[in-house]
Amino acid sequence: MTGHSNLLLIYTGGTIGMVEDPETGALHPIDFDHLQNEIPELKKFDCHITVESLKKPIDSSNMNLLVWIELLEIIETYYDRYDGIVIMHGSDTMAYTASAMSFLLENVNKPIIFTGSQLPIGKIRTDGKENLITAIEIATAKENGKPIVPEVAIYFEYSLYRGNRTTKISAENFEAFQSPNYPLLAEAGVHIKYNRFAIRKVDDKQLIARKDIVDNVASIKVFPGLRKDVFQAITNLSNLKGLILETFGSGNAPSDSWFAEEIQKLDKRGVVVLNITQCTGGSVMQGKYETGVHLEHAGVLSGGDMTFEAAITKIMYLLSCTELSFEEKKEYVGKNMRGEIS
């Protein structure tokens, strides 16, 4: 039910709020004030909606840490006053921002639902209206006075996904996202069917927004023929603090001795090295094959079935936790913190 709810709608840009440049035909985001006329439906909701915008709405491919901090500040300022939050965001980096928010916001106990669209909301065939309307419905849905989905999620094309389990899989289909290793939180048809077993159980604690994000991180996607000097171009960076290795299958990588030696050096330097698989589905199981055993011995941590988006933002978050030692950061990185890993 949406009655008597207060909803915060945060507009960050993305295709949902874009128009074509008359000269070039390229899409660019416009201010929400101009957009509002395209969505008269917002006035029909039986809840009070307040809109906040980024200072400068962006194409989400321009997302960066400063914008994440701006978003964290908006959420931190208004969180206590609202029953739920919907964030309009470009689909390109939506899974990154949703993952980042799931870590950087500690103790979330209200819905924070990201949505966007593949076609601008001003276009007749837009998917933006359904996405936005249902996202608002979900963000204000309560049962016994409590929010049904008290977590960071993405709503897109009739599906509600856990934010840090989601990845963008299509630049063409309306069904742009997938959550390969975790069930949907809800499916929208005539009714919204919530998969309660999959939704997080939360405590009533005060929200904490961590804004001191560390970005001294990198990733290396392993491929046949990866050269030592190319590998070292990244690993020799003096201020590197975290590295994601995107490996083959169940977490396997070349067993050349230089590879393990380079990784051992990183561990000694205090760099957190996390292994995730290039496969969309399934999990890292270091040690299943000989080509994974040497990684384990060199101090590489298993990222299990985390998405790349979850892994990189989790490392950024953990590195920002200055109260944790290197050993504690290593311990947490492979552990379930926000439902991001099985």
Using CB under 6 A as the binding rule, whether residue 127 contacts ligand ASP is answered as no
Q: Tell me which of 84, 111, 116, 339 binds ligand ASP, using CB under 6 A.
A: 116
Residues serving a catalytic function are: 15
- Please say which residue, 25 or 225, places its beta carbon nearer to ligand ASP: 25
Minimum distance of ligand ASP from residue 309's CB (angstroms): 13
Calculate the dihedral angle through the C-alpha atoms of 175, 101, 202, 199, rounding to the nearest 10 degrees: 10
Question: Cα separation of 307 and 216, whole Å?
Answer: 19
Letters for 6-35 (x = contact with ligand ASP by CB under 6 A, - = none) are: --------xx--------------------
Of the residues 10, 38, 39, 59, which one makes contact with ligand ASP according to CB under 6 A: 59
Residue spans of beta strands (DSSP E) within 184-282: 186-188, 192-194, 208-209, 217-221, 242-247, 272-277
C-alpha 191: how far from chain center: 26
Helices 290-297 and 257-268: crossing angle, nearest 10°?
30
Q: Which two tokens stand for residue 254?
A: 């070349």
60 binds ligand ASP (CB under 6 A): yes
SS3 content of the chain, % helix, strand, coil (to 5): 35, 25, 40
Measured from the CB atom, is 91 or 99 closer to ligand ASP?
91
Which residues within the stretch 88-107 sit at the binding site for ligand ASP (CB under 6 A)? 90-92
Task: Figure out which of the listed residues 118, 126, 164, 166 binds ligand ASP, where binding follows CB under 6 A.
Answer: 118
- Smallest separation, CB 157 to ligand ASP (Å): 12
Separation in Å, CA 193 to CA 139, 148, 149? 14, 11, 12
59 vs 340 by CB, closer to ligand ASP: 59
Instruction: Quote the least distance from Cβ 234 to ligand ASP, whole Å.
Output: 26
- Near ligand ASP by CB under 6 A, which window of 59-67, 182-190, 304-312, 330-338? 59-67
Using the structure block, give the residue that is written with the tokens 């055993």.
Answer: 293
Contact letters (x/-) for ligand ASP, 251-270, by CB under 6 A? --------------------
Phi, psi of 120, deg, nearest 5: -55, 150
Give the one residue of 3, 44, 55, 61 binding ligand ASP; rule: CB under 6 A: 61
Three-state DSSP at 100 gives helix
Three-class DSSP category at 185 = coil
Binding status of residue 157 toward ligand ASP by CB under 6 A: no
Q: How far is the CB of 322 from ligand ASP (least distance, A)?
A: 32
- Apex CA 58: angle with CA 82 and CA 185, to 5°? 50
Q: Interface with ligand ASP by CB under 6 A: which residues?
A: 14-15, 59-61, 90-92, 116, 118
